[in-house]
């Protein structure tokens, strides 16, 4: 299992992760090596075995629809790189 | 015995008897931090002003007769748990200047006990790593040998407890991140059952595996801290609505009649002889103390745990870390022409190499065409690993293994080989996959380097493993040894 340069770039795009040329080459090699090691998993017979998403028996935990106190906008916005009035300032999505 | 080396229970007795004040104790810990920190480098932030304020308040409470087992005692918090008004960096450039507007539930719970928070502990970036070498800030050094790693990802927490910079610490454990550094630094570290401790305010890495727990000097302290942090939290829907026992009640030192299994798959190829030898001696000690040992237990799917973990954890991480987009908080690259470019550059410069590697690995495992072969397959093998533990626990009260196949390795030794690094967690990963509780306690030394023993229990049977660990510590003194620093 050898990841091509195109595959690495495709995954990076899905993850919205900018990579330098050096990183593309290094990650391609390292991920190929790791995935090759994980091939062994395919030998395990998992016919009729259900997947486990989490290890405890809780399911569909719901809570009452009650209004509770939340943080004031000033505190929520305190870490914002860019803000305007009570909003996060973002770049244009459609140009 | 100097003040900063006191255990929680020793300090508590002195505070209660008014032979020691919280301010004195806090100053002793802070003094010790300033003395050894240039060499150990376990703390990202030292909160000395806050600590002294909290200590004064604790002294007032104690004077008024209001004292809990943790009141006025210094604690260090791993830097992935939100502390209101104090930076929470995850040892990442991405969150280098992030100041949370709220406290994690565990921090609230400790504050309710009037503890003294002396700082935030270094870690591998976003808890991804086994040595703290992935910290974007600096590497922590093992107090037993400064040229070696303290383990990770809670390496700062473990090293600080070992070096007596704090009385105890909190860590988080996704694949061994409390237990492996506890083993490497010769301290006591517990990963509770998944769901036992609220994850609210813990910066998410792999949500189905993450769990917060204590790093302490002995098992009694571990039980005291678990008493304070365990319990249902409506803000974490995966925390369980079960009652929480008083974990100190099980510390009787009597383990006669308990059945303990030793799974042979954990004595892996590449395990150091000294580790295997120390482990046999430690298990023989448990037998001497009255436990029945079965040396021939088999958990045949163990060898697949590494692959299962390194598919599931990065997959969950790739989803969790999608939130770092440079818009709401954290590092934000402004030097870009478009929204997408800004996001890609923010993530390129904000994340370190290991975080990028895991985001890529996880994104790949979840992507169209590979989901079934990797992510779904891993989830199915996860079921088999869990079932094996369930079956073993029909016969045994606990399982015992080494915490790590080796003693602490040299700084720099494994950084260029991610797979080699991943292997240092080979004995701890299966426990998170199954969601069961496990504790690492000091079990000897090889050429002056610590060796840890891992005791694994059934879901929500923390009492059983604490009891066994306590009995072992009553009969040995490995946990009392301190590094010469």
- For residue range B159-181, what is the model confidence (pLDDT) as tens digits? 999 999 999 999 999 999 999 99
* B1 pLDDT higher than 80: no
> How high is the pLDDT of residue B424?
86
For residue B280, what pLDDT is reported?
Answer: 97
> Closest to B339 (Cβ–Cβ): which among A3, A15, A93?
A93
What secondary structure letter does DSSP report for B416?
A: T
Q: Which CATH superfamily is domain B3-257 in?
A: Amidase signature (AS) domain (3.90.1300.10)
Residues of A within 8 A of B310 (CB-CB) are 34, 38
Q: Which of B202, B200, B247, B175 is nearest to B9 (CA)?
A: B247
CB B423 within 8 A of CB B447: no
Residue A1 has pLDDT above 70, yes or no: no
Cβ atoms of B78 and B17 closer than 8 Å:
no
- Residue B243, CA distances (Å) to A58, B293, B327, B393, B411 in order: 15, 31, 40, 22, 43
Q: Do B208 and A33 touch (CB under 8 A)?
A: no
Interface membership of A58 toward B (CB under 8 Å): yes
Put simply, the chain A residues between 13 and 52 with a CB less than 8 A from any chain B CB are: 14-20, 23, 27, 30-31, 33-35, 37-38, 40-42, 44, 46, 49-52
pLDDT score of B464 more than 90: yes
Local confidence band at B144 (pLDDT 50, 70, 90 cut-offs): very high
Q: Which residue of B has its CA nearest to A38?
A: B307
Residue B220 has pLDDT above 90, yes or no: yes
Domain boundaries, chain A: 5-43
Instruction: Report whether pLDDT(B481) > 70.
Output: yes
Are A35 and B339 within 8 A, CB to CB? Answer: no
| Two structure tokens written together for B370 | 């590979």
Average pLDDT in the B65-80 region? 98
Q: What is the pLDDT of residue B442?
A: 98
pLDDT band at B145 (very low <50, low <70, confident <90, very high): very high
Express each pLDDT in A39-69 by its tens digit: 999 999 999 999 999 888 788 888 889 998 9
Q: Taking CA atoms, what residue in B is nearest to A27?
A: B357
- Domain limits of chain B? 3-257
CA distance A77 to chain B (A): 7
Q: Is the peptide bond before B206 cis (omega within 30 degrees of 0)?
A: no
Q: Do B303 and A52 touch (CB under 8 A)?
A: no
CATH, domain range A5-43: 1.10.20
- Tens of pLDDT, residue by residue over B365-390, are 999 899 999 999 999 999 999 999 99
- Per residue in B391-403, pLDDT (tens digit) is 999 999 999 999 9
Give me the residue label for tokens 């390129």. Answer: B348
SS3 B410: strand
pLDDT interval class at B42 (50, 70, 90)? very high
The residue of chain A with its CA nearest to that of B316 is A53
Q: For Cα atoms B196, B197, B203, give the angle at the middle one, nearest 5 degrees.
A: 135
**Yes or no, beta carbons of B98 and A78 under 8 Å apart:** no
pLDDT the model gives residue A50: 96
Tell me the CA distances in angstroms from B50 to B12, B82, B391, one per residue in order: 20, 15, 49
Name the residue with tokens 């909160």: B47
**In the block, residue with structure tokens 């030793």:** B262
Q: Do A41 and B378 touch (CB under 8 A)?
A: yes
Of A11, A54, A75, the CB nearest to B208: A54
Nearest to B144 by CA among B168, B167, B121, B163: B163
Q: How much is the average pLDDT of B456-471?
A: 98
The pLDDT value recorded for residue B430 is 98
Residues in A closer than 8 angstroms to B324, CB to CB, are none
**Contact (CB, 8 A) for B167 and B75:** yes
Chain A interface, best mutation among B242, B299, B340, B360, by max A CB count within 10 A: B360
Q: Is the distance from CB of B293 to CB of B396 less than 8 angstroms? A: no
- pLDDT band of residue B475 (cuts 50, 70, 90) is very high
Chain B positions touching A83 (Cβ under 8 A) are none
**Rounded distance between C-alpha atoms, residue B448 and residue B441, angstroms:** 16
- pLDDT tens digits for B315-349? 999 999 999 999 999 999 999 999 999 999 999 99
Q: Distance between CA A27 and CA B374 in Å, rounded?
A: 18
Residue among B237, B344, B435 whose CB faces A18 most closely = B344
HEC string of B69-107 equals CCCCCEEEEECCECECCECCCCCCHHHCCCCCCCCCHHH
Give the per-residue pLDDT at B461. 97
Q: What are phi and psi of B121, to 5 degrees?
A: -95, 145
Q: What is the pLDDT of residues B81-107, one digit of tens each?
A: 999 999 999 999 999 999 999 999 999
Angstrom distance (rounded) from CA A85 to CA B129 = 40
Q: Kindly give the pairing relationship between strand B449-457 and strand B398-402.
A: antiparallel
**Measured CA distances, B78 to B4, B96, B165, B267, B395 (Å):** 19, 14, 14, 30, 36
Distance of CA B160 to the CA centre of its chain: 13
Q: In whole angstroms, how far apart are CA B178 and each of B13, B151, B183, B214?
A: 27, 9, 9, 8
Q: What is the mean pLDDT of residues B302-319?
A: 97
Catalytic residues of B, by residue number, are 78, 153, 177
ipTM: 0.96
């Amino acid at each position: 299992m050898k990841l091509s340069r195109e595959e690495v770039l495709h995954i990076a795009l899905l993850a919205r992760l900018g990579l330098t040329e050096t990183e593309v080459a290094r990650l391609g090699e390292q991920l190929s090596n790791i995935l090759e090691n994980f091939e062994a998993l395919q030998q395990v017979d998992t016919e009729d075995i259900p997947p486990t998403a989490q290890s405890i028996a809780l399911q569909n935990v719901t809570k009452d629809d009650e209004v509770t106190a939340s943080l004031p906008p000033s505190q929520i916005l305190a870490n914002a790189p860019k803000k305007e009035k009570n909003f996060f300032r973002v770049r244009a999505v459609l140009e | 015995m100097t003040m900063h080396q006191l255990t929680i229970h020793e300090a508590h007795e002195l505070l209660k008897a008014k032979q020691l004040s919280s301010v004195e104790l806090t100053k002793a810990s802070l003094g010790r931090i300033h003395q050894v920190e240039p060499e150990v480098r376990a703390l990202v932030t030292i909160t000395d002003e806050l600590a002294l304020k909290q200590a004064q308040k604790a002294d007032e409470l104690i004077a008024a007769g209001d004292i809990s087992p943790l009141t006025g005692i210094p604690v260090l918090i791993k830097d992935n748990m939100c502390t209101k008004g104090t930076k929470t960096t995850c040892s990442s450039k991405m969150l280098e200047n992030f100041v949370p507007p709220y406290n994690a539930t565990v921090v609230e719970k400790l504050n309710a006990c009037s503890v003294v928070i002396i700082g935030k502990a270094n870690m591998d970036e976003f808890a991804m790593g086994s040595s703290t070498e992935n910290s974007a800030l600096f590497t922590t050094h093992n107090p037993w040998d400064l040229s070696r790693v303290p383990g990770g990802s809670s390496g700062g927490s473990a090293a600080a407890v070992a070096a007596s910079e704090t009385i105890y610490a909190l860590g988080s454990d996704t694949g061994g991140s409390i237990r492996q550094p506890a083993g490497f630094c010769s301290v006591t570290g517990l990963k509770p059952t998944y769901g036992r401790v609220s994850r609210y305010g813990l910066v998410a890495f792999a949500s189905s595996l993450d769990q917060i727990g204590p790093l302490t000097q002995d098992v009694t302290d571990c039980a005291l801290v678990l008493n304070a942090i365990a319990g249902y939290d409506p803000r974490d829907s995966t925390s369980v609505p079960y009652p929480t026992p008083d974990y100190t009640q099980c510390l009787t030192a009597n383990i006669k009649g308990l059945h303990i299994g030793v799974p042979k798959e954990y004595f892996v190829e590449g395990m150091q002889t000294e580790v295997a030898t120390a482990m046999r001696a430690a298990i023989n000690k448990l037998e001497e103390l009255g436990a029945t040992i079965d040396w021939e237990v088999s958990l045949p799917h163990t060898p697949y745990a590494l692959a299962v973990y390194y598919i599931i954890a990065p997959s969950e991480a790739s989803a969790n870390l999608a939130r770092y987009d440079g818009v709401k908080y954290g590092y934000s690259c402004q030097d870009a022409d478009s929204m997408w470019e800004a996001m890609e550059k923010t993530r390129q410069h904000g994340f370190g190499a290991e975080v990028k590697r895991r985001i890529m690995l996880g994104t790949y495992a979840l992507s169209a065409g590979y989901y079934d072969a990797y992510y779904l397959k891993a989830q199915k093998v996860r079921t088999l690993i869990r079932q094996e533990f369930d079956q073993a626990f029909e016969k045994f009260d606990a399982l015992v293994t080494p915490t790590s196949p080796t003693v602490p390795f040299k700084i720099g030794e494994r950084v260029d080989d991610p797979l080699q690094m991943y292997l240092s967690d080979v004995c701890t990963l299966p426990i998170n996959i199954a969601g069961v509780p496990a504790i690492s306690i000091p079990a000897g030394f090889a050429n002056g380097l610590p060796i840890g023993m891992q005791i694994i229990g059934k879901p929500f049977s923390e009492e059983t493993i604490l009891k066994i660990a306590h009995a072992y510590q009553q009969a040995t003194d490995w946990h009392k040894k301190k590094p010469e620093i």
